Amino acid sequence: METTITESRETLTAGTSMDETRGLTYPRIECKNINVSYGDKQAIFDISLPIPDRSVTALIGPSGCGKSTFLRCLNRMNDTIESCKVTGEIIMDGENINDPDIDPVLLRSRVGMVFQKPNPFPKSIFDNIAYGPRIHGLAETREDLDEMVEKSLRRAGLWEEVKDRLSSPGNSLSGGQQQRLCIARAIAVRPEVILMDEPCSALDPVATARIEELIDELRKRYCIVIVTHSMQQAARVSQRTAFFHLGELVEMGETDQIFTNPRERRTEDYITGRFG
Amino acid sequence: MIQQLGHLPMGWLLLALLAMLASGGFFVGRVQAERFSGATGSVRVHSRPNYHGYYVAMWTFVPALVVALAYAMLGEGIVRSLLAGELPANFQSMPSVELDVYLDSIARAAFDHGYGGADRVFSAIANRFLELQGMVKASAIGLALISAACGFFLARRKVAPSFRARNRVEGGIELFLFLCAGIAIATTVGIVASLLYESLRFFSEIPFWDFLFGTRWNAQTSAEFGALPLFYGTFMIALIAMLIAAPVGLFAAIYLSEYAGPTVRAWVKPVLEVLAGIPTVVYGFFALLVVAPAIRAVAVWINMTLMSAGITAEPLLAAQPTSALAAGLVMGIMVIPFVSSLSDDVINAVPQTLRDAAYAMGATKSETVKHVVLPAALPGIIASLLLAVSRAIGETMIVVMAAGQRARISPDPTADLTTITVQIVALLTGETEFDSPKTLSAFALGLVLFVITLFFNLIALRVVQKYREKYD
Amino acid sequence: MTDAAPAPFRNEKALKRLKKRRAADMRFKFYGMSAIAFALAALSLLIISILSQAMSAATYHIVRYDVVLDPAVIAPPGKDKPADVARNIDGFYDLLRDNLLQTFPDVQGNRLETRQLGDLLTRLAVLPVAKSVAANPTQIGQEMTIKVPLNDDLDLYLKGAVSPEARLKLGAVEQGIETTPGRVTLSGANAFKGLQSLIAAQRAEVGDAVDARSILVTAGKSTGRVVSMSADALEMDLLTGSASDFNAARPLARVIALPESQRNVSDDQIAWTLALKDMGRISRVPHFSLLTHTDSTYPELAGALAAIVGSLLTMLVTAFIAIPVGIFASVYLEEFAPRNRLTEIIEVNINNLAAVPSIVFGLLGAAVFLGFFGLPRSAPLVGGLVLALLTLPTIIIASRAALKSVPPSIRAAALGVGASKMQSVFHHVLPVAGPGIFTGAILGMARALGETAPLLLIGMVAFVADVPTGPTDESTALPVLVYSWATHAERAWEPMTAAVIVILLMFLITMNGIVVFLRRRFERRW
């Protein structure tokens, strides 16, 4: 049932031009008045931001501007930090995911995340991918699971490289491969949204390029939010860009517009390298 | 006169002598150096006068110290062997043990300022002992002085403006520091050597395999040295202890590192460490006073119930006043902090990014712990368990007080069993002679204990080291 | 499009599965909490059981004797020099026992009872009295009040530790009549009805075993043991005192659960003790002798002084060796050691030594210090040496950690102003690491203070009656005293042992308190 819907959405977007895509997207996630504080220190001030489906939204800004913190609100990863307090509404599929009776475990099965440093589990490549489907009970049979692992690895562009050594440990791969493994691992749970927290910052340029291609590929199926400290990367992979500064959302818009014709002075200063 | 010298209080005398030599050397060296350093600035002086002083003091003090230490270790032995060589022929034919005992009494009599008894031979020997002792003491002091003087003059000749006294002194200090670190090696060598030496003497009388695989142990009364029942008892009690300590320690560590808030952690962690700080003899008393009677009562109750229900005709459990279960249970409590604190450390060392990855996939907390954190921390946890096993095997006081003395192989946990450590204590308390197989068997047991615990420790330490390297 | 999708957060299948997973989560958390609860419960049980035992030893009963120091008894001609008086334990004992015999004249002539009465007083308990009289001979011939500890079993009886005991105030007795010598009949309307129903209740509980129980009835100084009774009359053997004491009295009945044959105190002794108590001659006082006496075979006379001093001497030797050597060794390993095979071996060695069972160090001490070097047995010197080797690895590891935490910038700063490596270490690094090293040293010493097994092997378990004065004297140590007292058979040793444990723990708490204080005081964040 679910798959057929996904398929139909895929056929819908396949072959449409970029402009059309933009016109078709609707906000997958609608953030309203988000405030985050750690203890007494407020990190995010009243941010409202719509995030469109099937496109890449880049969050940029100098370090410590709260972009990672904001990203972690989207799958409630901030719950794992004791002193962290989040207020405001994040609407996804008509539900406020900040609502106490939304179980973060269910939320996270629909909002995957990829981290700064590749962090494969101390398990085999296969088990790394299969972990999510297993805990969520997505696979009925072993064949299902095998298929799921293969599909995820294919989507992450890793299948050809690892198909002969699925049982070797996940951290025996190179850094770039590990990061793609982590992406595959996130995909395997069949999320609708993928959050990426500076996914290339620990990688060399070749591996980075590979990941960027992959992101562009994944955009056709998923809603992707990426935090990056590299403006070039934001310009390369994203359709929309939001500029954060000191916990505030300064400016948000089409990536082309932000980089060529920013409305705000601070944005211009940042992208022209005057600070940050 | 020489006899009077025999009564010299050598300890204090040598100490005073050493102090005098050191300070004398220091002043001479310093004054000499001050002369040239205080004079003109024409010569570049390498070291400050104090260092010249230290240098001379070092060379005066150290040779005398070597002589003094040699005397402290060997003096008595030299006197004895000299005396034994002079004794009449009928003494020479005495067995060495008896001769030792005789010489002990001579030494004691001589020490008590003469012997007033009627035995003329004895008193003559005691006097001769004092004379010899006086000679040895006098020559030790003489030797100390001569060597100090040699060192002093050699060192003094070197004192000159260009002499790098500081470097030499620092080299000397560094050597001293190295020797201090070497004491650890010396201790291990001492342990291995003494255990091996005495054990080999034991195995020259009792065949090695009979000791290792014999099933009858009766060292106190008859000479039966089959240690298998002791190994069994040690194993059984350590097993009971680990059955308690492993789950409790591990779950406590998991709870503290993954679930507990900072306040709970701040309170519970030190309290658990209190368990590690309580002397084991206190645990032994607790086992004897509270746990063993309670276990016995329960065992008796089980026996009665089973018998009245007609399930068994005889009492099923031994229900002894001291039991393997009592010792094992209390030992398990003692070992909990050894498991929990090291496990806590290794669990905390698992990088947070791994946990984040699991949470971000929608894993619950327990799934994260079970599937990600524990496998990552597994080597460290195994190491902590191994260290705990080693601790349980080597633990003495609890088993001495609560496990019993009977060497037997019985699967009944309420029976009294004995262990390696219990037997070592039983064999070596009270008067001991170093020649009977009874005493020597304690060292053979000690050797087995040392080898087993060494094995566990080395594996554990290696695993921990590897683990640290991986995540640091 | 969204409306076509099933509401993902309300997906029933997922929620059902999630419920199970959440339950597993709670179970897991519960296991953790139970583990903590188990450990804490074990610790509190241990502490409570020891404290409750020790509380009972915190006070003890002493008996007052008002006697004339009769020279004929304590300083007979020919044995009247102070040294003789100090040694005349028999004389002083006789003096006090005769006083007891005068107090309970009806005992006279009965040898068993005379011996039992004499047992209220331990022979050796008079030793301090003899010594003080000998030091002050003018007291001889004078009247004097002497206070001596009560026999340990009776002390335990008065503390209620010998046997469970039911007490009941009887109804008014009209009179007590001595029918035959030693037999007394009490009469009073319904006076014994309560006692009867008490016995009946106990019979329902334990059956005929109740007949073996002693029922003692006490009024004032007089006590009798019940033979038979009805609601209005009671017949008893008079143990001490006189029948007239019961006239118009409301006596107290005691039903002692443990039969006389199974306890160390007889009914007679209990009766005398109750009488002495009634006379105000027995008082419960703080048990200071636990700290001022040395070991004894009689629990009421025993104290831990020799063991405390022995422990202190041992710790002194240990501290003098282990702390400097440990610090120097760690300085070498942390600051000077080149990274080569030898230092690597030393490192592994130290880590391994820290985990070698302590009893192996005892074997080392027995073989090397006693056997090879011929040092004296049972001496704090040898104990201290063995414990020094035992704690050395602990101290080295802690000191190295402290040295490691000193930031390299301090070393660089010292070297930068032209100090030699040695100077930078001794003038700058060591002082900064000082508190950390000191804490490690105290923790090592605390561990050494509690060690027992190695001391047993070098003979420090001997019975020591004199306070050791130097490191080569025969001596014992606090934990060893705990061991030897705990293995005594007599019940009275249990609270005494617990009390020594409390003393030992006090020392440990103090040492750890210093550590905590230092950590708070010198906590540094670089």
Nearest to A57 by CA among A219, A232, A244, A240: A240
Question: Which domains are assigned to chain C?
Answer: 62-148 (no CATH), 163-262 (2.40.10), 305-522 (1.10.3720.10)
Residue among A119, A120, A123 minimizing CB distance to B375: A123
Q: Which residues of C touch A94 (CB under 8 A)?
A: 2, 7
Q: Give the mean model confidence (pLDDT) for residues A91-112.
A: 86
Residue among C358, C364, C368 minimizing CB distance to B396: C358
With a cut of 60, say whether residue A14 has pLDDT above it: no
Nearest to B110 by CA among B79, B71, B82, B138: B79
**Which of C1, C2, C9 is most worth mutating to test chain A (most A CB atoms within 10 A of its CB)?**
C9
Distance, in Å, from the CA atom of C219 to the CA atom of C247, rounded to the nearest integer, reads 9
Which tens digits make up the pLDDT trace of C14-34? 788 888 889 999 999 999 999
Q: Residue C468 in contact with residue C309, Cβ under 8 Å? A: yes
With a cut of 50, say whether residue A20 has pLDDT above it: no
Task: Please report the pLDDT score of residue A19 as a whole number.
Answer: 39
Q: Which residues of C touch A108 (CB under 8 A)?
A: none
Select the more confidently predicted residue: C375 or C64.
C64
Q: Residue C155 in contact with residue C60, Cβ under 8 Å? A: yes
The count of other CB atoms within 10 Å of the CB of residue C83 is 9
CA B345: distance to chain centroid? Answer: 27
**Which of C350, C363, C460, C504 is most worth mutating to test chain B (most B CB atoms within 10 A of its CB)?**
C363
Q: Which residues of C touch A136 (CB under 8 A)?
A: 14, 17
Task: Please report the pLDDT score of residue B48 as a whole number.
Answer: 76
Task: Please report the pLDDT score of residue C302 as a whole number.
Answer: 86
Say if the Cβ atoms of A112 and B376 lie within 8 Å: no
Q: Residue C494 in contact with residue C488, Cβ under 8 Å? A: no
B178 touching C (Cβ < 8 Å)? yes
Which tens digits make up the pLDDT trace of C384-404? 999 999 999 999 999 998 898
Distance, in Å, from the CA atom of C119 to the CA atom of A61, rounded to the nearest integer, reads 92
Say if the Cβ atoms of C9 and A106 lie within 8 Å: yes
B180 touching C (Cβ < 8 Å)? yes
Residue among A107, A117, A135 minimizing CB distance to B367: A135
Which tens digits make up the pLDDT trace of C410-461? 888 888 887 888 888 888 888 888 888 888 898 899 999 999 999 998 888 7
Distance, in Å, from the CA atom of C176 to the CA atom of C245, rounded to the nearest integer, reads 8
Say if the Cβ atoms of C451 and B450 lie within 8 Å: no
C507 touching B (Cβ < 8 Å)? no
Q: Which residues of B touch A186 (CB under 8 A)?
A: 360-361
> By CA distance, what is B366's nearest residue in C?
C25
CB crowding B104-135: b at 16 or more within 10 Å, else e: eebbebbeeeebeeeeeeebebbbbbbbbbbb
Residues in Cβ contact with C500 at an 8 Å cutoff, skipping those fewer than 6 apart: C290, C304, C307, C478, C481, C482, C485
Residue among C49, C349, C512 minimizing CB distance to B286: C49
Say if the Cβ atoms of A119 and B356 lie within 8 Å: yes
Instruction: Name the pLDDT band for C475 (thresholds 50, 70, 90).
Output: confident
Question: How do beta strands A27-38 and A41-52 pair?
Answer: antiparallel
List per-residue pLDDT tens for chain B, 472 residues long.
Answer: 566 666 667 777 778 888 888 888 888 878 877 777 665 555 566 777 778 888 888 888 888 888 888 887 777 778 877 877 777 777 767 766 677 777 777 777 766 655 556 677 777 777 777 788 888 888 888 888 888 888 888 887 777 777 777 888 888 888 889 888 888 889 999 999 999 998 999 999 888 888 888 888 887 777 788 889 999 999 999 999 999 999 999 999 999 999 988 888 888 988 888 898 899 999 999 999 899 999 999 999 999 999 888 888 888 888 888 899 999 999 999 999 999 988 998 899 888 889 999 999 889 999 999 999 999 999 889 999 999 999 999 999 999 999 888 888 888 888 888 999 999 998 888 666 666 788 888 999 999 999 999 999 989 888 888 777 776 5
Residue among A105, A115, A120 minimizing CB distance to B362: A105
Q: How far does the CA of residue A270 sit from the closest CA of chain C (Å)?
A: 34
For residue C438, the one-letter residue type is: F
Q: How far does the CA of residue B365 sit from the closest CA of chain C (Å)?
A: 7
Q: Residue B275 in contact with residue C39, Cβ under 8 Å? A: yes
Task: Please report the pLDDT score of residue A17 as a whole number.
Answer: 36
> By CA distance, what is C3's nearest residue in A?
A93
With a cut of 70, say whether residue C6 has pLDDT above it: no
Say if the Cβ atoms of A108 and B376 lie within 8 Å: no
What is the share, in percent, of chain C residues with pLDDT greater than 70?
97
Nearest to A242 by CA among A220, A221, A266: A266
> By CA distance, what is B261's nearest residue in A?
A82
B263 touching A (Cβ < 8 Å)? no
CATH class of B210-471: mainly alpha
> By CA distance, what is A105's nearest residue in B?
B362
A100 touching C (Cβ < 8 Å)? no
Q: Which residues of B touch C43 (CB under 8 A)?
A: 271, 274-275, 333
Task: Please report the pLDDT score of residue A22 as a whole number.
Answer: 43
With contact defined as 3+ CB pairs under 8 Å, the chains touching C are A, B
Say if the Cβ atoms of A136 and B376 lie within 8 Å: no
Task: Please report the pLDDT score of residue B414 as a whole number.
Answer: 87
Question: How do beta strands C222-229 and C233-240 pair?
Answer: antiparallel
**Which of A84, A114, A131, A134 is most worth mutating to test chain B (most B CB atoms within 10 A of its CB)?**
A131
Which tens digits make up the pLDDT trace of C31-57? 999 999 999 999 999 999 999 989 888
Decide if the complex's ipTM is over 0.85: yes
Nearest to B418 by CA among B408, B427, B410: B408
Task: Please report the pLDDT score of residue B113 as a whole number.
Answer: 56
B396 touching C (Cβ < 8 Å)? yes
> By CA distance, what is A182's nearest residue in B?
B357
Say if the Cβ atoms of B366 and C28 lie within 8 Å: yes
With contact defined as 3+ CB pairs under 8 Å, the chains touching B are A, C
Which tens digits make up the pLDDT trace of A169-195? 888 899 889 999 999 999 898 888 999
Select the more confidently predicted residue: A260 or B36.
A260
Length of chain C: 526
Task: Please report the pLDDT score of residue B130 as a whole number.
Answer: 79
Residue among C29, C453, C504 minimizing CB distance to B425: C453
Task: Please report the pLDDT score of residue A5 as a whole number.
Answer: 37
Q: Where are the domains of chain A?
A: 2-271
Task: Please report the pLDDT score of residue C459 as a whole number.
Answer: 84
Distance, in Å, from the CA atom of C240 to the CA atom of C220, rounded to the nearest integer, reads 11
Q: Chain C window 1-60: which residues touch A at a Cβ cutoff of 8 Å?
A: 1-2, 4-9, 11, 14-15, 17-18, 21-22
Which tens digits make up the pLDDT trace of C274-304? 999 988 899 998 888 888 888 888 888 888 8
CATH architecture assignment, domain A2-271: 3-Layer(aba) Sandwich (3.40)
> By CA distance, what is B374's nearest residue in A?
A122
Burial of B263 (0-12, 13-18, 19+ CB in 10 A): exposed
Q: Where are the domains of chain B?
A: 2-163, 210-471
**Top-confidence range, A181-185, C84-88, C133-137, C231-235:** A181-185
Say if the Cβ atoms of A77 and B375 lie within 8 Å: no
Q: Which residues of B touch C397 (CB under 8 A)?
A: none
Which tens digits make up the pLDDT trace of B169-224? 888 888 889 888 888 889 999 999 999 998 999 999 888 888 888 888 887 777 78
Residues in Cβ contact with C66 at an 8 Å cutoff, skipping those fewer than 6 apart: C99, C143, C144, C145
Residue among C4, C6, C9 minimizing CB distance to A102: C9
Helices (H), C168-266: 193-206
Residue among B351, B359, B371 minimizing CB distance to A131: B371
Task: Please report the pLDDT score of residue B111 as a whole number.
Answer: 65
Task: Please report the pLDDT score of residue B97 as a whole number.
Answer: 66
With a cut of 70, say whether residue A7 has pLDDT above it: no
**Which of B350, B361, B381 is most worth mutating to test chain A (most A CB atoms within 10 A of its CB)?**
B361
Q: Picking from A141-145, B85-89, C357-361, which range would have the lowest pLDDT averaged per residue?
A: B85-89
What's the pTM? 0.86
